Amino acid sequence: MTRVIKKYPNRRLYDTDKSCYITLSNVKELVMAGIDFKVIDTNSSEDLTRSILLQIIMEEETHGKPIFSANTLAQLIKFYGGTAQGVFGQYLEESLSAFANQQDLFTSNSQAPMQNISDIAQKNIKMWTDMQQSFFNVNPDDSKDNKS
């Protein structure tokens, strides 16, 4: 079940599951714990989840060591509005998901780290090949002339 967080006009966030006000740090803890949630504006009933998550990323990027360099952010911005925006979003989402899955695999069996690295490398090769074919609709038969 999806946990509902209400956002009030005074910018406060209310966790309906715990019946208390929470902070962005608490929302980050929900993300880190893998808890499914949705942030809803109390006035408009608009889903504000993405906006709240972006605020958390902004805070993380501002404090401590950022993940995104200025060059990376500029590259991301260039994809907005272009024909590749949808494809890039899907590609990025699947890449992050694959990375998270590999992290789980690597840490799940600490007794055989070299075997984990080998398994991950083999899965990466297959994953990237599959992703390229999926995103770019690579079909070896399409390149052939089908004249009869």
Same domain, 40 and 57: yes
Query: What is this structure's pTM?
Result: 0.71
Same domain, 92 and 124: yes
Q: 18-42, pLDDT tens digit by residue?
A: 999 999 999 999 999 999 999 999 9
In a domain, 147, yes or no: no
Query: Rounded to whole angstroms, how far apart are CA atoms 18 and 2?
Result: 13
The count of domains in the chain is 2
In a domain, 146, yes or no: no
The pLDDT of residue 114 is 65
In a domain, 47, yes or no: yes
Determine the Cα angle at 139 with ends 133 and 143, to 5°.
135
Query: Rounded to whole angstroms, how far apart are CA atoms 118 and 37?
Result: 36
In a domain, 117, yes or no: yes
Which residue blocks in 33-111 are alpha helix, DSSP H?
49-62, 70-79, 85-108
Same domain, 25 and 85: no
Q: What is the total residue count of the chain?
A: 148
Nearest 5°: phi and psi at 22? -130, 170
Q: Which residues of the chain are modeled with pLDDT < 70?
A: 106, 108-117, 135-148
The answer to whether 39 touches 5, Cβ cutoff 8 Å, is yes
Owning domain of residue 108: 70-138
The answer to whether 3 touches 13, Cβ cutoff 8 Å, is no
Same domain, 89 and 42: no
Same domain, 41 and 83: no
Determine the Cα angle at 26 with ends 101 and 37, to 5°.
60
Same domain, 42 and 99: no
The pLDDT of residue 135 is 65
The pLDDT of residue 8 is 96
The pLDDT of residue 146 is 47
